[in-house]
Amino acid sequence: MTIELGPLGAYLTAAEATATDAVALEEAGYGAIWLAASPTADLLSAERLLDATNRIVVGTSVLNVWQADAETVADSYHRIAAGHPDRLLIGIGAGHREINAGYTSPVAKVAGYLDTLTAAGVPADRVLLAALGPKMLRLAAERAAGTLTLQVTPEHTRRAREALGPTKLVVPGHGVVLDADADRARETGRAGLRQILGIANYANNLRRIGYTDDDLTDPFSDRLIDVLVFHGEAPAIAAGIHTEITAGANHVGLHAAGEDPIGVLRAIAAAARELEVLRA
């Protein structure tokens, strides 16, 4: 049975997420918290947030298969799921050549990681893959609950939905900047994307869906920034989320920029409820 996430999720950095943040997001109507920056294999950061809340789902986004020992992750999953059934998702990903020593054959590495989780009794419908390209999407369709993606566009979501079929989860993530000044908001978005867009996996995926070197060369085109980072006032951001839902997303994770990310996330959730834009 796939966990029901609802339409809205929030990204928090695993090392910095607090119980207070989790409670505030649950009260605001978020269905899931995604722990960014490859949480540790003991999953204590997820457990802490689950202990503080009543219904919100917590997922890893994503555990790096080169760093987080799969057997330890499986043990952690069982420990936490026993106390919080149907509230923990394990997102895993193959990392990046520019970052991870020994990076090679990412699909084979992820498949082997899944073998270990499966052998340890972690249900496939509790695992999501960070799948960008066709081979990893195929693996997600065959062996996981779906895909958990970052730095993607509604067009990629449409293709992911087509690849995974109607029953799997498709969970894209986007940056959000609550700022009515479009130029300033784009600059905030650019600052957050510079390091990420220098990673070949992300850049190559964007090329596959129609972006060019002109878009992907710093300072990056406005059309690229606008599709990767939802910005403007809260209703405009909610409308951007709706484009992902209509493209085939089950749920959209939001990375809020600024000094008060929880306040930003609350404002967006309120706008989404008021405008009912999250109905597909």
Interval 117-162: pLDDT, tens? 999 999 999 999 999 999 999 999 999 999 999 999 999 999 999 9
Provide the total of helices (H) and of strands (E) in the chain, helices listed first: 12, 10
Q: Which pair of structure tokens corresponds to residue 97?
A: 């050549």
pLDDT at 200 (0 to 100): 87
Predicted confidence band of residue 1 (pLDDT cuts 50, 70, 90):
low
pLDDT score of 164 more than 60:
yes
pLDDT at 6 (0 to 100): 93
pLDDT at 254 (0 to 100): 98
d(CA 250, CA 96): 26
Backbone angles phi, psi at 275, to 5 degrees: -90, -10
Residue 201's identity, in one-letter code, is N
Complete DSSP assignment for 152-215: --HHHHHHHHHHH-SSSEEEEEEEEEE-S-HHHHHHHHHHHHHHHHTSHHHHHHHHHTT--HHH
Question: At CA 178, angle to CA 235 and CA 244, rounded to 5?
Answer: 55
Q: Which of 35-39, 111-115, 273-277 has the lowest mean pLDDT?
A: 273-277
Q: Which domains does the chain have, with CATH numbers?
A: 8-275 (3.20.20.30)
Write down the mean pLDDT value for the chain.
Answer: 94
d(CA 193, CA 236): 20
Q: CB–CB of 53/65 below 8 Å?
A: no
d(CA 50, CA 58): 7
Over range 180-198, report the average pLDDT.
Answer: 94
Nearest of 264, 265, 256 to residue 36 by alpha carbon: 256
In tens, the pLDDT along 57-92 reads 999 999 999 999 999 999 999 999 999 999 999 999
pLDDT at 276 (0 to 100): 75
pLDDT score of 100 more than 80:
no
The burial of 177, by beta-carbon neighbours within 10 Å (0-12 exposed, 13-18 middle, 19 or more buried), is given as buried
> Chain-centre distance of CA 44, in angstroms?
19
